[in-house]
């Protein structure tokens, strides 16, 4: 079997890339280790930058997000018992859209299906070969039978634990990492959100976040220690802890109900450089991870895919390799902006177990500076809505 581009991974990066290539008449096959149901069952981020929404539109999947996505012109930061609004629209002229990653994935899967493009799910033993030469190949098994796909390029969209980055020789790769000494315990529930906008909470008991997926579905998080287990968090304990981190008025308005999903996620910052090795290109979580505090993960995956799809289209239309050669540097410039912002926002809002009293006071000063200074709020807002591509 032979295709122009073999895409490893059918998460949002791989699906979005597949969709943009398909629309440009480029033949791409997606190979995914898991089932479609498994991919759709992963509950992830929910905040889209306008640039990401625009890219979904260019990929032909902008209809439902335009109809059902919730436009957010601002969010609140709660500390010292008071909520302070960050007015994104007034400060930057831009907004964000709340629309779950699960929905983005579903829209892309549906579009791929109706375009008749092929995705191989449940592929076992996926491996990538000869990407340092002119004829790369991807091998995998389906129902025990071995398959090999020859291609011009491989797109590694297979996430942090995927095989693509791990197949690059260690001496060709530089990795930068920070693991935070805490996690997020997240709950999804069919209850109306406590506020029509997100609330990021800094409290002496730790960080919390009030988010949503729709007017009837809420997503809440509390900072927890890494040694904790979800089994130790029955719903009643979660709601009590969340309320204890909110101001009394907000806590009083919180509608609780049974959780429909509950999980603990560690927080990590990670970047692998470069993002290209010969004919293998990494995109999304395969190349970088941000802590979720800045809501940047999915948006960064989208910006990688924007650069990569443009480069591939340029190559197939004109024969020019300029975009392919520039891919890694272009993507990484944006990645490091998001890494810096996500790292900063994580330190701004969490209880820092290793920081001690000094860093707690510095954190408080930083929060007060945000309230006092429009320039400080503008810097936050500009990064949150996303820097231009």
Pick the catalytic residue from 99, 180, 200, 220. 200
| Minimum separation from the CB atom of position 146 to ligand PHB (A) | 39
| Minimum separation from the CB atom of position 316 to ligand PHB (A) | 36
- State which of residues 83, 137, 219, 279 lies at the interface with ligand PHB (CB under 6 A): 219
How far is it, in rounded angstroms, from Cα 28 to Cα 26? Answer: 6
Q: Counting contacts by CB under 6 A, is residue 12 touching ligand PHB?
A: no
Q: Quick one: 28 or 47, whose CB is closer to ligand PHB?
A: 47
**Which residue of the chain is nearest ligand PHB when measured via CB?**
211
| Minimum separation from the CB atom of position 149 to ligand PHB (A) | 35
DSSP state of 389: -
Residue 200 a catalytic site member: yes
Q: Counting contacts by CB under 6 A, is residue 292 touching ligand PHB?
A: yes
Q: Tokens 């926002």, residue?
A: 345
- State which of residues 92, 189, 293, 309 lies at the interface with ligand PHB (CB under 6 A): 293
Residue 384 a catalytic site member: yes
The beta strands (E) that lie in the chain are given as 5-8, 28-31, 47-49, 70-72, 74-79, 82-87, 96-98, 119-120, 124-129, 137-142, 145-150, 153-156, 174-189, 199-201, 208-214, 217-224, 259-273, 276-277, 280-282, 288-289
Q: Counting contacts by CB under 6 A, is residue 46 touching ligand PHB?
A: yes
Residue 262 a catalytic site member: no
- State which of residues 15, 17, 45, 380 lies at the interface with ligand PHB (CB under 6 A): 45
| Minimum separation from the CB atom of position 305 to ligand PHB (A) | 20
| Minimum separation from the CB atom of position 40 to ligand PHB (A) | 16
Buried/exposed 39-60: b ≥16 CB within 10 Å, e otherwise: beeebbbbbbbbbbbebbeebb
How far is it, in rounded angstroms, from Cα 64 to Cα 67? Answer: 5
Residue 214 near residue 285, CB atoms below 8 Å: no
Q: Quick one: 105 or 211, whose CB is closer to ligand PHB?
A: 211
Residue 306 a catalytic site member: no
Q: Counting contacts by CB under 6 A, is residue 193 touching ligand PHB?
A: no
How far is it, in rounded angstroms, from Cα 105 to Cα 119? Answer: 13
Tokens of 349: 């809002």
Footprint of ligand PHB on this chain (CB under 6 A)?
A: 45-47, 198, 209, 211, 219, 292-293, 295
Q: Which residues are catalytic?
A: 72, 200, 292, 296, 384
């Amino acid at each position: 079997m032979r295709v122009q581009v073999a895409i490893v991974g059918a998460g949002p990066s791989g699906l979005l890339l597949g969709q943009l290539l398909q629309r440009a008449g480029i033949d791409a096959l997606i190979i995914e280790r898991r089932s479609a149901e498994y991919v759709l069952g992963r509950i992830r981020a929910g905040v889209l930058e306008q640039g990401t929404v625009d890219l979904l539109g260019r990929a032909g999947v902008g209809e439902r997000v335009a109809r059902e996505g919730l436009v957010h012109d601002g969010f609140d930061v709660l500390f010292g018992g008071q909520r302070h609004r960050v007015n994104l629209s007034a400060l930057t002229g831009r907004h964000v859209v709340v629309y779950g990653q699960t929905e983005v994935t579903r829209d892309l899967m549906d579009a791929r299906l109706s375009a008749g493009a092929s995705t191989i799910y449940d592929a076992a033993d996926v491996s990538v070969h000869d990407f340092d030469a002119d004829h790369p190949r991807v091998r995998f098994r389906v129902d025990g039978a071995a398959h090999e796909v020859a291609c011009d390029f491989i797109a590694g969209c297979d996430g942090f634990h995927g095989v693509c980055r791990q197949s690059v020789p260690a001496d060709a790769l530089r990795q930068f990492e920070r693991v935070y000494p805490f996690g997020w315990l997240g709950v999804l529930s069919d209850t109306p959100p406590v506020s029509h906008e997100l609330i990021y909470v800094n409290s002496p008991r730790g960080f919390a976040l009030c988010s949503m997926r729709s007017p009837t579905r809420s997503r809440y998080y509390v900072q927890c220690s890494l040694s904790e287990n979800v089994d130790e968090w029955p719903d009643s304990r979660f709601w009590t802890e969340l309320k204890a981190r909110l101001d009394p008025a907000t806590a009083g308005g919180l509608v609780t109900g049974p959780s429909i999903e509950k999980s603990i996620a560690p927080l990590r910052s990670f970047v692998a450089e470069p993002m290209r090795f010969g004919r293998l290109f990494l995109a999304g979580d395969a190349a970088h991870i941000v802590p979720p505090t800045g809501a940047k993960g999915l948006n960064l995956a989208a910006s990688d895919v924007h650069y990569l799809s443009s480069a591939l289209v340029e190559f197939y239309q004109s024969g020019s390799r300029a975009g392919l050669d520039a891919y890694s540097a272009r993507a990484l410039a944006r990645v490091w902006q998001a890494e810096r912002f996500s790292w900063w926002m994580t330190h701004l809002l969490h209880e820092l177990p290793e920081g001690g009293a000094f860093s707690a006071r510095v954190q408080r000063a930083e929060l007060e500076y945000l309230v006092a200074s429009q320039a400080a709020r503008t810097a936050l807002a500009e990064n949150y809505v996303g820097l231009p591509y």
